[in-house]
Structure formats: structure tokens, C-alpha cells
Amino acid sequence: MSLDPARVLDLDPLLDDPKTRIVVCCGSGGVGKTTTAAALGLRAAERGRKVVVLTIDPARRLAQSMGIDSLDNTPRRVKGVEGSGELHAMMLDMKRTFDEIVEAHADGDRAAAILNNPFYQSLSAGFAGTQEYMAMEKLGQLRARDEWDLIVVDTPPSRSALDFLDAPKRLGSFLDGRLIRLLTAPAKLGGRAGMKFLSVGMSMMTGTLGKLLGGQLLKDVQTFVAAMDTTFGGFRTRADATYKLLQAPGTAFLVVAAPERDALREAAYFVQRLAAEDMPFAGLVLNRVHGSGAARLSAERALAAAEDLDSVDAENPGSAAAENLDEARIVDQADGKAGLRNSPDTYGSSESPASETPAPDEGSPAATDRTAATDRTTATDKAAATDPERSIDQLTAGLLRLHAERMQLLSREQRTRDRFAARHPEVPVAEVAALPGDVHDLAGLRDIGNRLAAHRPELPES
Amino acid sequence: MSRLQVVSGKGGTGKTTVAAALALALATEGKRALLVEVEGRQGIAQLFETEALPYEERKIAVAPGGGEVYALAIDPELALLDYLQMFYKLGGAGRALKKLGAIDFATTIAPGLRDVLLTGKACEAVRRKEKSGRFTYDYVVMDAPPTGRITRFLNVNDEVAGLAKIGPIHNQAQAVMRVLKSPETAVHLVTLLEEMPVQETADGIAELRAAKLPVGRIIVNMVRPALLDDTDLALAETAPRTAIAKSLSAAGLGGARRGGLAERLVGPLLQQAGEYAERYALETEQRSVLAEQDLPLHELPLLSEGLDLAGLYELAAQLRKQGMS
């Protein structure tokens, strides 16, 4: 199945468009969301925009490389950015963000009372959804400051990608809800007198909750909500405002995934959900896609050949591999294209034939290979004299097994992607080739940025 | 062998899979294991290829040798209603509370309350006995929250003690903590051989130890086979490409001369070897970080065909072979 060019997600125009003000990277945990957000931010900055990246939980070394490993909850300018733009980055401190809201909206004494309230402390540090809510709050703050023309947001590593949309609303409606108002009524109206206005159900409920949690907690909640309520407007209003900001045309959602079953299943849910919520969805970023420069050699054939080499060694230790060469099968072609008379053009694969698209990492494999081969041949021919042929055969068998593993991975990834594409043919995709290691410097992020924005698919189509 | 086995791990490391494989591995020779899910994701149902699990214990698999695996997806709201019913005999009032949103309120208002209900349910299953006096479940395996939250989740005593200083919840928390901090419990951490999950595992172990919770084992998941060893990798650096081309040609993969099919494979194959070498070096580094933790280490292979039910049984067999059950 080939990738229809119409479905290739072209990221540069999105990043360059001055109308794009917010890019949200979402997806399930462990798919490279933070790295994608940072790489997009760097790329946009180096293309001339003034960017701020809001990361939630970056890997330590990535944070250090961007100079945002200190938790001061404000954006820092990232050094080493090339070009005319600017990159600022920050790491979210959810408790600090919550504290700042309180400090900004309450006078000294009242703020202190809220900050010291045990219920507040528990809520600001641990409530499921606080992190999501604070990420959105911070996004709103950054947008309001209007110092940057592009904000790239990473989303919290929620247990499910969907939490990110629900949690702010949940926390908002929870803090602003009917129930909490009823609960706080006694405190506001001055103790028992207020209870008269409550239904029987409610008084029973506060009674039960009091028994269950201990009276102190309920009292803490009541004091807390009363203090919050008088100092700043409803949480729901704030949550609604952020929600509307996300729906605005200047926002672009990118769903990040890896070509694995679970990650793509989450991605599919997210795509549907964004559509249902009228959120502006730009496309799917598919990280960690594997390729092979030798995709025409199937896993089965590679394994069979590796076994051949093993058995040659076992039967005839020390035999020169060259003796087994069938000279008749070797035909050199001037253009380097496969043109063997007695050898199949592709190595009898159960897969569909590979195309001639060059490998992702080699501009022109035939040409570069050849010069490299010539260099190495002269340099290492002497070494060959000391290396027994047997270990070369062993190495070759190992290389073939490694290739077989890669091809199995490739076909598994392909099946997973095909399933996604079949269900969501309208979704544009940007593929990013897998890196063997982790990214922890600007050069690495720049490399990812290049891979993200590559116009052609990274892989040979098959 | 601890009877409550808690499985945590960074998101994406496959902790649900490992928890399920562990339950299968523990359910040998007529033993019975309960696999408990606490995050409402229905991950167990997906793994065992069944429909969504209700809030009740039901048999989902038979292990080799006749053991049984039961599963329970705990719903914190229903758990709280159960709990209120037990202590206050609420009857219809429970439904009224639910309608008012009070249950949602109570479980969200105090994260510790939610956690104590979840861990409490698991501890209850650990202690439950049949009329005959034998334990209902020989083992309870919990698919727990991720490493970043596990200490907080299990350390309900501290969480709840700050909020509810008296009352049944407080007592419940005390009882739960007695089980969790005893040798009856072991907390295992699942990781991959990658920088972030390994770092998070090391941090998680330090936190668990500081909270005096019993750390069990480290399970490295999705380990790729070692296809090239140090000797091979060194040789790949120095070996003449012509020799490799000849070797490939000898194995019937085409011509070894320049431009021949075999010769043209050498570049890509060596590139893959180079990528492998880089990953191999990173993995070696991560293995040494894990070794410093001074805990039993297990490794589970990456299943080349992806994970399905057969793969789950294969992982269970691996865990059994490695002495985890």
C-alpha cells in the first residue's frame, strides 16, 4: 500500500503561517510527544518565528540541553538557536502554577490561608486532572502575554490521551459545581443556620461524608471553596475559556503516535474525539518508523541465507567463502541497477515487491556505496589476511539475522499503519524515521525537525 | 512468595501485559490468581480478547497445568458505594448520593480516598478465605498506576492520614498499610532498556524504599535478541566489504562484484549493524544502571509477531522459567 501524497502532512507551511498561534501535541505516553514538541518549536524558531515551548515532563538531559531543568515555571530563552527567530522553553510546575493563580487573585492574608489549607495542598499536588488543568491554564497565560507568535504545547502523560480534554472541564465543574456550592453553604452563611436551606438529602450527605472522611476534611473543603469563590471567578468559566481557545482557528492539534498497535489505537480515538469536539486537527505525527536500505531482501530469505552460512561453516570449517561463488550469477551493470540473469530481481519475498525508492539515509545509495566500498577495500584488504573467513561468514550470518529482525519489524509496523490508514484515510501523516538513540541536544532536535518536515515519506514504499 | 504482587512501570513499558503474564505464571498446578485493574482502562479485557470487564470477579483464563486466572476491574465509584453499604446500610440513599454526584465528589475530592478504596479492595481479596479455610486466591496481581504515581498510590496512609484523621476511612487505610508494608506484598517495576524508563525506575525504587514499601523485582520488557556480539561488532567495523559481499554471494544472494546484488546489500546491512551497535551501547549503559539497584532482574523478549494471547502465554512461561513464580 503506497502513501498517497495528499495524505502527507506538510509541517513547514503550518509552522510558517503567522495565523498558526498554538500547536498542541497530544497522544498516549511514551511515543515521543515531548521531543516532537521541542523539535517543532526549534524548527519554527529557526524558520524565523518567536516561539515558546511548554513541556510537561521532559527527559532530564533534554531539559538540560534546553536550559529548562530548573523549575521556576517561567519561559527561558534557549541558546544556540540559529536564524532570526527565538526559542523560549519552560517546564510546567503544576503546583507553582496553581499557587500563582491564587496569589494573583487573592490578597496576602487570604492567599496565605488558601495556600496553607490542607485540602488545597492535596488538590494542587495530586488531584487527577490538576496537571492537565494547569497545563491549559499556563497555555492561557502564555497566550494572554502575547509575547510569542507561536506556542507549542506538550500534553501531560495521561493514562489515556483523552484525559487531556476532559480533566480541565472536570476540575472546573467540580470546583464550581452545584454540589460544592451546597456543601459550602453552611460555612458561608455562618454555621448551622445555613443547614435549614439544604434538602434532607444534602444534610444526610454532608453528614455521611463527614463521618467517612472525618469532619475536619469537610471543614477544610468548605473553607477552601469559600475562600476561592470570593477571590476569583468560577473555575468553570476559566476552563470554558481555555476550551474555546483550543477550538479557535489559530490552533492546530497534532496527534503523536508510534507505529504500534496500542499507540495507534489511542491515536484513532483521539482523532475521532477531536472531530467530535470541533477541535482543529492538523494531522498525525508517526514517530519511530523503521526503514531498511535493503528492503528487497525479505526476512525469510535472509534467515535462509544465514542458515546456509552456518551450515557451510559446520561442514567445512575454514572454507573460503569465495569458493562457493557461482561466477555465472554475477553480472555487473554499469548503472548499478539490479540486472541479474540468473538471480531474481527481488529475493523471493512473501511481501509485495519493494520499489526502487532509495533508502532514507542515503541520497544515492549506489553512488555513495561505491566510493565508500572502494575506500574501505583498499584500507581493509590487509586486515582480511588475518581475519579467518569463518568469522566473516559468522558476521555475515549475524548481519542477515539482524536484517530479518528489521524486516519483521517493518512488516509489523506496515500492517499497523495500514489498519489505521484504512480506518482514517483522511488523516495526513508525517513520518519520522526511528533513531537508534535518545535525543538530548539541539542538533538532535534539529535532525528530528528535518525528518518531520521531509516532504517525501521516509520509507521505501512497499 | 508474596501473595500480593503489585506491577508498576512507566507508561508504554507494557506493565499491564507483564501483570497479566505474571498472573498466568502464578496460577500453576491448581492455584488461583486474581488479576486486578485499577485505572479503568479495560487493558486486561483487551489482552485476553474478551468484552469489557464488569465490576465483578470473573474467570478469564486457564493456565497451563489447570490453574485459574480471575480478573477484576475495580470501579472506584462502585467500590465506594459498596463500602458505604457495608458500613452505613444506606439502601436507596446510596443511589440518591450517586445521583447528586456525591460519589464522584467524594472520590475526586480526596485522591487518597480513591486510592484507599482501590488498594483496600485488593487487600480484601488477598485476605479473603473460603469456608474450608483456604485462601480464595493464592495470589493477587495488581496492574497498578505508573511508576511516577505508585508510591503515592500505595502510601495511602500518609495521604489519608492528612485528610481523614479519624473515621472508618482512616481505619481502612491503617489496615491496608499493614498489608502493603508487610512481606505479603512485593512491588515490581517494569521497564524498557531506554534512558527515560530506566531513570524513572531508579527514581521509583528510591521513593518506594523511602516510604518503606517492599520493592520486589525489576522486569525488563521487550528485550530484543542479541544478534551480534562484541566480536561481531568489532569485525563489522574492520571487515572488508568485499569479503562480506563474497560471503553473501556464497549464501546465494547474488553477485559479489561492484554493483552486484550481494555487493549492494553490504552497505545497508552494515548501516543496520551500526544502528544496532549504537543501541547495544545504550542498552549496556542502561543495564548497568539497573544492576546498581541491587534487585533481582528479569528479562522478557520482544515478541516479533506482536502481542497476542499466545504471546502472553509465552511470556508467562518465560517468567515461570526465570523463577518469578
Give the pLDDT of residue A365.
40
Q: How far apart are CA A355 and CA B168, in angstroms?
A: 68
- For the record, the C-alpha cell of B231 comes out as 566480536
Give the pLDDT of residue B184.
93
For B54-96, the pLDDT digits (tens) are: 889 999 999 888 899 999 999 877 887 777 777 666 666 666 6
Q: What is the largest CA-CA distance in chain A?
A: 103
For A240-256, the pLDDT digits (tens) are: 787 888 899 999 999 99
Closest in B199, B247, B271 to A392, CB measured: B247
Closest in B162, B197, B232 to A394, CB measured: B232
Give the pLDDT of residue B214.
96
Give the chain B residue whose CA is nearest to the CA of A296.
B265
Q: How far apart are CA A90 and CA B78, in angstroms?
A: 40
Q: What is the mean pLDDT of residues A16-20?
A: 96
Give the strand pairing for A251-257 and A281-289: parallel
Find out whether B164 and B117 touch, Cβ atoms under 8 Å: no
Average pLDDT, chain B: 88
* Residue A250 vs residue B97, higher pLDDT: A250
pLDDT-based confidence at B16, cuts 50/70/90?
Answer: very high
What's the burial of B141, exposed, middle or buried (CB within 10 Å: 0-12/13-18/19+)?
buried
Chain A: nearest CA to B154, how far in angstroms?
A: 14
Q: Do A160 and B41 touch (CB under 8 A)?
A: yes
Q: Which residues of B13-42 are buried (b: 16+ CB within 10 A; e: fewer)?
A: bbbbbbbbbbbbbbbbeebbbbbbbbbeee
Q: Indicate whether A325 pLDDT > 50.
A: no
Chain B: nearest CA to A6, how far in angstroms?
A: 30
Cβ-Cβ contacts under 8 Å for A377 (sequence gap 6 or more): B240, B241, B242
pLDDT-based confidence at A440, cuts 50/70/90?
Answer: confident
Q: How far apart are CA A138 and CA A133, in angstroms?
A: 9
Single-letter amino acid, residue A100: E
Chain B: nearest CA to A374, how far in angstroms?
A: 9
Q: How far apart are CA A41 and CA B177, in angstroms?
A: 45
Q: Which residues of A355-366 are buried (b: 16+ CB within 10 A; e: fewer)?
A: eebebbebeebb
φ, ψ of residue B120 to 5 degrees: the values are -60, -40
Q: Indicate whether A461 pLDDT > 90.
A: no
Kindly list the residues from chain B whose CB atom is less than 8 angstroms away from the CB atom of residue A211.
88, 167-168
Residue from B17, B151, B272, B303 whose CB has the most chain A CBs within 10 Å, to mutate: B272
Q: What is the mean pLDDT of residues A112-136?
A: 76
pLDDT-based confidence at A381, cuts 50/70/90?
Answer: very low
Q: How far is CA B64 from CA A195, B26, B48, B68, B323, in A?
A: 61, 10, 15, 9, 16
Q: What is the mean pLDDT of residues A93-103?
A: 85
Distance of CA A196 to the CA centre of its chain: 53
Q: How far apart are CA A27 and CA A49, in angstroms?
A: 25
Q: What is the mean pLDDT of residues B164-173?
A: 72
Q: Indicate whether B253 pLDDT > 50.
A: yes
Q: Indicate whether A350 pLDDT > 90.
A: no
For A135-187, the pLDDT digits (tens) are: 888 888 899 899 999 999 998 776 555 666 776 666 666 666 556 666 655 54
Find out whether A172 and A134 touch, Cβ atoms under 8 Å: no
Kindly list the residues from chain A whose CB atom is less than 8 angstroms away from the CB atom of residue B258.
332, 370, 373
Give the pLDDT of residue B73.
94
Find out whether B223 and B301 touch, Cβ atoms under 8 Å: yes
Which residue shows C-alpha cell 559479489? B256
Give the strand pairing for A150-154 and A22-26: parallel
Single-letter amino acid, residue A347: Y
Give the pLDDT of residue A71.
58
Q: Which of A21, A13, A33 is nearest to A255 (CA)?
A: A33
φ, ψ of residue B68 to 5 degrees: the values are -125, 140
Kindly list the residues from chain A whose CB atom is less than 8 angstroms away from the CB atom of residue B246.
321-322, 325, 392
Q: How far apart are CA B32 and CA A274, in angstroms?
A: 43
Give the pLDDT of residue A388.
59
Handedness of CA B199, B202, B205, B207 (dihedral sign): negative
Give the chain A residue whose CA is nearest to the CA of B234.
A395
- Between helix A94-105 and helix A215-231 the angle, nearest 10°, is 60
pLDDT-based confidence at B307, cuts 50/70/90?
Answer: confident
A to B CB pairs, distance under 8 Å = 300
Domain boundaries along the sequence of chain B: 4-224+302-321, 230-277
Give the pLDDT of residue B41.
75
Q: What is the mean pLDDT of residues A198-223?
A: 62
Its pTM stands at 0.78
Q: How far is CA B224 from CA A63, A409, A437, B16, B197, in A?
A: 28, 11, 15, 19, 16
Kindly list the residues from chain B whose CB atom is less than 8 angstroms away from the CB atom of residue A331.
255, 260
Chain A: nearest CA to B205, how far in angstroms?
A: 18
Which of A77-81, A201-205, A234-238, A349-353 shows the lowest per-residue confidence on average (mean pLDDT)? A349-353
Kindly list the residues from chain A whose CB atom is less than 8 angstroms away from the CB atom of residue B90.
208
Give the pLDDT of residue B295.
96
Kindly list the residues from chain B whose CB atom is less than 8 angstroms away from the CB atom of residue A394.
232
Q: Do B260 and A332 touch (CB under 8 A)?
A: yes
Q: Indicate whether A259 pLDDT > 80.
A: yes
Q: How far apart are CA A219 and CA A183, in angstroms?
A: 10
For A263-301, the pLDDT digits (tens) are: 898 899 889 989 998 999 999 999 999 999 999 999 999
Q: Do A361 and B271 touch (CB under 8 A)?
A: yes
Q: Indicate whether B188 pLDDT > 80.
A: yes
Which residue shows C-alpha cell 480506518? A423
Q: Indicate whether A7 pLDDT > 60.
A: yes
Give the chain B residue whose CA is nearest to the CA of A219.
B163
pLDDT-based confidence at B2, cuts 50/70/90?
Answer: very high
Homologous superfamily (CATH) of B4-224+302-321 is P-loop containing nucleotide triphosphate hydrolases (3.40.50.300)
Cβ-Cβ contacts under 8 Å for A356 (sequence gap 6 or more): A460
Which residue shows C-alpha cell 456543601? A183
Single-letter amino acid, residue A182: L
Residue from A171, A369, A409, A441 whose CB has the most chain B CBs within 10 Å, to mutate: A369
Which residue shows C-alpha cell 475536619? A216
Give the strand pairing for B185-191 and A86-91: unpaired
Which residue shows C-alpha cell 485522591? B111
For A298-319, the pLDDT digits (tens) are: 999 999 999 999 887 666 554 4
Give the pLDDT of residue A182.
62
Kindly list the residues from chain A whose CB atom is less than 8 angstroms away from the CB atom of residue B162.
118, 122
Q: Indicate whether A37 pLDDT > 70.
A: yes
Give the pLDDT of residue A420.
93
Give the pLDDT of residue B274.
94
Q: How far is CA A24 from CA A37, A255, B73, B103, in A?
A: 8, 8, 32, 33
Q: Indicate whether A320 pLDDT > 60.
A: no
pLDDT-based confidence at A261, cuts 50/70/90?
Answer: confident
Give the pLDDT of residue B39.
81
Find out whether A225 and A231 touch, Cβ atoms under 8 Å: no
φ, ψ of residue B237 to 5 degrees: the values are -70, -35
Q: What is the largest CA-CA distance in chain B?
A: 86
Q: Do A324 and B250 touch (CB under 8 A)?
A: yes
pLDDT-based confidence at A16, cuts 50/70/90?
Answer: very high
Q: What is the mean pLDDT of residues A112-132?
A: 75
Topology adopted by domain A5-289: Rossmann fold (3.40.50)
- For the record, the C-alpha cell of B1 comes out as 512468595
Handedness of CA A196, A200, A205, A208 (dihedral sign): positive
- For the record, the C-alpha cell of B237 comes out as 567495523
Q: Indicate whether A5 pLDDT > 50.
A: no
Q: How far apart are CA A50 and CA A33, in angstroms?
A: 21
Alpha-carbon Rg for chain B, nearest whole angstrom, is 25
Percent of chain B with pLDDT strictly greater than 70: 87
Q: Which of B166, B155, B88 is nearest to A216 (CA)?
A: B166
Q: Where in chain A is the domain with CATH 3.40.50.300?
A: 5-289
Percent of chain B with pLDDT strictly greater than 90: 60
What's the burial of B12, exposed, middle or buried (CB within 10 Å: 0-12/13-18/19+)?
buried
Give the pLDDT of residue A439.
82
Q: What is the mean pLDDT of residues B209-226?
A: 95
Q: Which of B221, B230, B261, B231 is nearest to B245 (CA)?
A: B261
Q: What is the mean pLDDT of residues A19-39?
A: 90
Q: What is the mean pLDDT of residues B183-208?
A: 94
- For the record, the C-alpha cell of B255 comes out as 553477485
Give the pLDDT of residue A455.
60
B289 touches chain A (CB under 8 A): no
Which residue shows C-alpha cell 504545547? A153
Give the pLDDT of residue B35.
97
How many beta carbons lie within 10 A of that of residue B95, not counting itself? 12
Closest in A30, A330, A405 to B10, CB measured: A30
* Residue A127 vs residue A343, higher pLDDT: A127
